[in-house]
Amino acid sequence: MPATNAEISGIFDEIADLLEISGASFFRVRAYRNASRVIKDLSTQITTIAADPAAKLDDLPGIGKDLAKKIKTIVDTGDLPLRAELEDQIPTGLMDVIKIAGVGPRKAHTLFLELGVKDLDTLGEAAQAGKVKDIKGFGPKTEQNILEGIYAVKGMGNRIMRADAEEYANDILEHMRALPGVRHMVVAGSYRRLMETVGDLDILIACDEPARASERFISYPGTSRVIAHGRTRSAIVAGKNVQVDIRIVEEASWGAALQYFTGSQAHSVALRGMALRKGLKLNEYGVFRDGEKIAGETEEGVYEALGLPWITPELRENRGEIAAALEDRLPVLVELSDIRGDLHAHTDLTDGRNTIGEMLAEGRRRGYLYVAITNHSKRVKMAGGLDERGLMEHWRQIDLLNQSMSDTHALKGVEVDILADGSLDIDDEVLAQADYVLASVHYDTNMTRPQMTRRLSRALSNRHVDSLAHPTGRKINERPPYAVNMDDVIAAASRYGSVLELNAAPRRLDIDDLTSRSARDHGVKVSIATDAHSAKEMDFMRHGVNQARRGWLEKNDVLNTLTYRSLMKRLRRHNTL
Ligand code: DGT
Ligand code: CA
Ligand code: CA
Ligand code: ZN
């Protein structure tokens, strides 16, 4: 039974939504919306008044006889019959459709009438087929928003961006360190494997007073709900939606537990199969031969018992790492300290927050040899994109600045917009003056796979283009990748000697791990670049390096591990191809 005013108000709101979806008159819908607002704004709880025989509901401000009756029904029965009636008439999937930003119940009604849209899937098909934009009051921009909105609604709350989870991970570890005698403590699972998103966090701990570990854990101040509370295992929800598991293990089996709870499951299953073939048994307590424990205290020991070198967690996906380990050809993965510069940065001349000087100073603080200043071009009006003249003037400033700085060079760059046909919005003669040209797509993204593939490949065929920025356009939990054949794009990059960007912004991480690996296999270099819109965002580099490591990239696969001289030599050669 609804207890609070907020819940009663919610019922009126839902009825208003349902009425609107079903095409009810404006006045009828408005009556329910008003009721919802009046109730939400009341300073007294309705249930208190309803329980008091001396008080009357219709004495409350804004509540007449009719509404008082409806409220009484809700208080007595928990609902209004109208809600169930409407729910019977209207496809339930339309309630998901109105969760899309910019699609209210009114628009949902139109989509239902015009296109027979019943739920997110039928809406997605219609939008993909370009039918939505032709409806009166919709248009191409709404169609695009809808495609992205479907993706966002479907992905809502499922997985958390690693960078967001990181804040909780560090905070909880900090909280747990107050425990006496912590021997080992690690966040295992997908988090340790450096995945771009995590389903939940898995903390593993070995300590002298295990009984106190669970208590300490569930007393974490950021806990919004305790899911489980046990002696060796507990779970909480931290903040709004970050589930955190903790497992308290024996120090003697630390290595085996760490291996087990780091996963991935596919990797561990493969290891277990190997163990069996060797007459061994592997589980979360150790490696056993004839019931006798031969390893388990350290993770290295576990791998060694199986005849393997230790495999770094970000490779543990059963994607060939075990065979590579057996043959002693595991990649030597790129590290943050290998990075010599940032090849995608914006300044306050367009939509960035800091000056060129400030971006360079941050680069120098990081020990970088170069920072490519890559502001937007004219097509990206919202960001104050530069036209040909603006760019030439901008680059003159950069030349001047470089004369007064010696250790960190600013590259004269641009992030040129790729038009729908794959041509660029800045003249070739001007692009020829740049040190570094990024090309990227910002508009007209709802095209077929072959169209988008041709568009990106054509952009790469321009000899002034050095790199394709955020190649698939995806934003985690927000926007799906373009329909594009990345194999063909990689082939084009290889043909024209250009590189693909691994955009290090945590919500982009574009290209992903598998695409990085494919680029590497085809000899296409990857540039790990932050797309920083402030000096602070240059710290995104570490997220990009994490993703690159999951993609098996080594130092030599990454363009911005080159020194300034080698980079300039390579870029000049590329430009005159
Ligand atoms: P997530 O949380 O969805 O991002 O992915 P993980 O990999 O963190 O998975 P999670 O949290 O369900 O479990 C943590 C680790 O525990 C997982 O990576 C491997 C291990 N694990 C969980 N369930 C099983 C299982 O049934 N078999 C095996 N071999 N390992 C498991
Ligand atoms: Ca997990
Ligand atoms: Ca878990
Ligand atoms: Zn950018």
Q: Which of 65, 1, 76, 3 is nearest to 35 (CA)?
A: 65
What is the mean pLDDT of the segment spanning 181-206?
97
C-alpha to C-alpha distance for 207 and 185, rounded to whole angstroms = 8
Question: Ligand 3 centroid to 161 CA: how many Å?
Answer: 15
Q: Which CATH number fits domain 253-326: 3.30.210.10, 3.40.50.2000, 3.30.1600.10, 3.40.50.2300?
A: 3.30.210.10
Q: Which residue has the higher pLDDT, 45 or 375?
A: 375
**Rg of the chain (C-alpha set):** 29
Tell me: pLDDT of 29 over 80: yes
With the most atoms of ligand 1 within 8 angstroms of its CB, the residue from 166, 202, 241 to mutate is 202
Instruction: Could you list the beta-strand ranges (E) of 354-429.
Output: 370-373, 409-417
What is the mean pLDDT of the segment spanning 106-122?
93
Pull the structure tokens for residue 280.
């061994």
Instruction: Give the ligand at the shortest distance from the Cα of 532.
Output: 4
Question: Ligand 1 centroid to 264 CA: how many Å?
Answer: 6
> Where would I find the H helices in 422-483?
428-431, 449-461
Predicted local distance difference test score (pLDDT) of residue 48: 83
CA distances from 344 to 37, 187, 201 (A): 47, 31, 31
- Residue with CA nearest ligand 1 atom 26: 265
What is the mean pLDDT of the segment spanning 457-483?
95
Q: Which of 39, 35, 16, 36 is nearest to 26 (CA)?
A: 16
Question: Ligand 3 centroid to 204 CA: how many Å?
Answer: 11
C-alpha to C-alpha distance for 405 and 401, rounded to whole angstroms = 7
Predicted local distance difference test score (pLDDT) of residue 283: 97
Tell me: pLDDT of 67 over 90: no
Residue type, 287: V
Tell me: pLDDT of 202 over 90: yes
C-alpha to C-alpha distance for 285 and 253, rounded to whole angstroms = 5
CATH class of 336-575: alpha beta
Instruction: Using CB atoms within 10 Å of the CB of residue 358, give its burial: 0 to 12 exposed, 13 to 18 middle, 19+ buried.
Output: middle
What are residue 75's phi and psi, to 5 degrees? -60, -40
Tell me: pLDDT of 2 over 60: no
| CA atoms lying within 13 Å on the CB side of residue 94 | 28
The region of weakest confidence among 258-272, 379-393, 529-543 is 379-393
CATH number for the domain whose boundaries are 160-248: 3.30.460.10
Predicted local distance difference test score (pLDDT) of residue 156: 66
Q: Which residue has the higher pLDDT, 57 or 179?
A: 179
Average pLDDT for the chain: 93
Helix (H) or strand (E) holding 166: helix 162-176
- Residue with CA nearest ligand 1 atom 15: 261
CA 568 to chain centre: 33
Measured from the Cα of 262, ligand 1's closest atom is 18
Instruction: Give the ligand at the shortest distance from the Cα of 505.
Output: 4
- pLDDT tens by residue, 154-179: 876 679 999 999 999 999 999 999 99
Three-class DSSP category at 245: strand
Instruction: Give the ligand at the shortest distance from the Cα of 169.
Output: 2
Predicted local distance difference test score (pLDDT) of residue 1: 53
What is the mean pLDDT of the segment spanning 488-492?
98
Tell me: pLDDT of 197 over 70: yes
- pLDDT tens by residue, 419-453: 999 999 999 999 999 999 999 999 999 899 999 99
* 526 in Cβ contact with 516 (< 8 Å): yes
Torsion of Cα atoms, 436 then 442 then 444 then 448, to 10°: 70
CA angle 37, 38, 40 (to 5 degrees): 60
Q: Answer left, alpha or beta for residue 90, where phi above 0 means left and psi between -120 and 50 means alpha.
A: beta
With the most atoms of ligand 1 within 8 angstroms of its CB, the residue from 265, 299, 315 to mutate is 265
Predicted local distance difference test score (pLDDT) of residue 553: 98
Going from N- to C-terminal start, the domains of the chain cover 5-154, 160-248, 253-326, 336-575
Q: Which residue has the higher pLDDT, 301 or 40?
A: 301
- Residue with CA nearest ligand 1 atom 18: 263
CATH class of 5-154: mainly alpha
- Residue with CA nearest ligand 1 atom 13: 189
CA 249 to chain centre: 32
